[in-house]
Copies of this chain bind each other. A is one copy, B any other.
Amino acid sequence: MILPLEFQFIDRYFKQLCRSEALHLSDDAAIMSLNTNEELVLTTDTMTENVHFFKNDPVDFIARKLLRCNLSDIAAMGAKPFGYLLNLSLPTYCFTHEWFEKFTDGLSIDQKLYHFSLLGGDTTKNLHNMTFSVTMLGKILKGQALRRNTAQAGDGIWVTGTIGDAALGLLSLKKEIEWNQNLVNRYYLPQPRIELNLNHIASAAMDISDGLLQDLNHLTRESRIGAIIYKNKIPLSKDAEKLKKSYFETIITGGDDYELIMTIPVNKEKIALEESKRSKIPLTKIGYCKKDSNYKVQLLTEDSSQLKLNKMGWSHIE
Interface residues of A (CB under 8 A from B): 1, 4-6, 9, 23, 26-34, 36, 38-52, 73-74, 76-77, 79, 85-90, 95, 119-129, 131, 133, 135, 137-138, 140, 142, 145, 147-149, 206-207, 209, 214, 217, 222, 312-313, 315-318
Contacts and interface: CB of A to CB of B under 8 A. Distances in A.
Contacts of A206: 27-28
A316 B42 CA distance: 27
Contacts of A317: 4-6, 9, 90, 95, 123-125
Nearest to A94: B317
Contact of A5 (B4, B142, B148, B315): B315
A120 B135 CA distance: 10
B34 A122 contact: no
9 contacts: A1-B217, A6-B317, A27-B77, A28-B207, A32-B42, A44-B120, A95-B317, A124-B316, A127-B129
B51 A127 contact: yes
Contact of A89 (B36, B48, B315): B48
Contact of A42 (B26, B29, B46, B127): B29
Given A90-B317, A125-B317, 10 more contacts: A32-B39, A33-B40, A44-B122, A46-B133, A48-B125, A48-B131, A51-B124, A52-B124, A124-B317, A133-B133
A219 to B, nearest CB: 10
Q: Which of A36, A45, A48 has the largest number of chain B CB atoms within 10 A?
A: A48
Q: Which of A34, A89, A125, A138 has the largest number of chain B CB atoms within 10 A?
A: A89
A126 B127 contact: no
Contacts of A26: 148-149, 222
A43 B31 contact: no
Nearest to A314: B4
A128 B51 CA distance: 11
A316 B74 contact: no
B30 A42 contact: yes
A86 B50 CA distance: 21
A86 B34 CA distance: 23
B147 A51 contact: no
A296 to B, nearest CB: 8
A192 to B, nearest CB: 12
A5 B297 CA distance: 20
Instruction: Rank and list the top 3 A-B pairs by shortest CB-CB distance, nearest first.
Output: A128-B128, A29-B43, A135-B135
